[in-house]
Amino acid sequence: MARQTGDDLVDADLQLDEQEIEAALRPKRLAEFIGQHRVREQLTLILEAARLRERSPDHVLLSGPPGLGKTTLAMIVAAELGMPLRVTSGPAIQHAGDLAALLSSLSEGEVLFLDEIHRMARPAEEMLYMAMEDFRVDVIVGKGPGATAIPLEIPPFTLVGATTRAGLLPGPLRDRFGFTAHMDFYSPGELEQVLRRSAGLLGVPLAEAGASEIAGRSRGTPRIANRLLRRVRDYAQVRADGVVTVEIAEAALTLYDVDAMGLDRLDRAVLDALVRRFGGGPVGLSTLAVAVGEETETVEEVAEPFLVRAGLLARTPRGRVATAAAWSHLGLVAPAGGLIGNGPAAAQVELFDDAP
């Protein structure tokens, strides 16, 4: 049996503190939830109608990028209904038996939150169809010709599914949700509201200009905004008088490698490699990942979405290409000829890289 060291225990305590802080910052009711006005209004109507009918509301699917509040909304749905919440995730359900055991343990009216629902195994997914529609699952006993299906009734429940990739959900599963909502990125003004609320809960004196500076570097994402606020708070307490001003926010975020557009170390490394080493592209994903010392999945799923949304990078059939805005952000002048770089490395990459 492995023995925990003092450092391991300290790291565990720090992680627990971070989790407790995140939980404390989550709004508990729809009235406290900032942003996503249309989704909030639609959910309010659905939950109120279910309460009036004294029935479980329709199943809910929440889609959108990470950090926008899907888990928080699932918790709020359970709180508004006054029902317990059961939490699991798609990768945790790899067999139909896992899902059957979970569903059979639900109580009537309970809310089941299934995060990353698109990553659930296909056999479990097919069992979920019947459970969502008929509140019944068939448990197969035995194998081969002698196998028997035993119907198992389950109490009415509400499934709240969350996904960052709604396009990967099969049509039959998507159609069984009575309400589907897409979460949008937050505006800077909405992020400032989130930051002011979080600062109040954390007891952090936050100047208006300081909130604006943090919001502008938060990528339109409340989770990132709250994380940056905690780091700026640390800086303000250690190196200043504890008040988060615009000067303190700028100094702290510069220290933590978050620039004025919200780009972090990995984002800038990708842009720098694309522009300085490969003449702006086109360059294949695998080559770009090797150039920055990261896995291809990390570059594609962590860095690229924001770089594309910010207009700094473009995906083309020939590979990744830096836009004129990317050159400008790095303090360089884009070459003539549009988005496509015309350096010698670009031609070589195009010929030999098989991962566009």
Which residues are marked as active site? 70-71, 115, 164, 223
Element (H, E) at 150: strand 148-153
174 touches 120 (CB < 8 A): no
CA–CA separation, 216 and 234 (whole Å): 19
Gap between the Cα atoms of 160 and 236, Å rounded: 39
Q: Which two tokens stand for residue 266?
A: 């990995």
Euclidean distance between CA atoms 179 and 58, whole angstroms: 7
Q: What angle do CA 20, 119, 306 make, to 5 degrees?
A: 70
- CA dihedral in degrees (136, 141, 145, 146; nearest 10)? -120
Helix 208-216 with 188-202: angle, nearest 10 deg: 120
Residue 49's alpha-carbon distances to 21, 56, 133, 177, 314, in angstroms, are 33, 10, 19, 16, 45
Q: Which residues contact 315 (CB under 8 A, 6 or more apart)?
A: 304, 308, 321
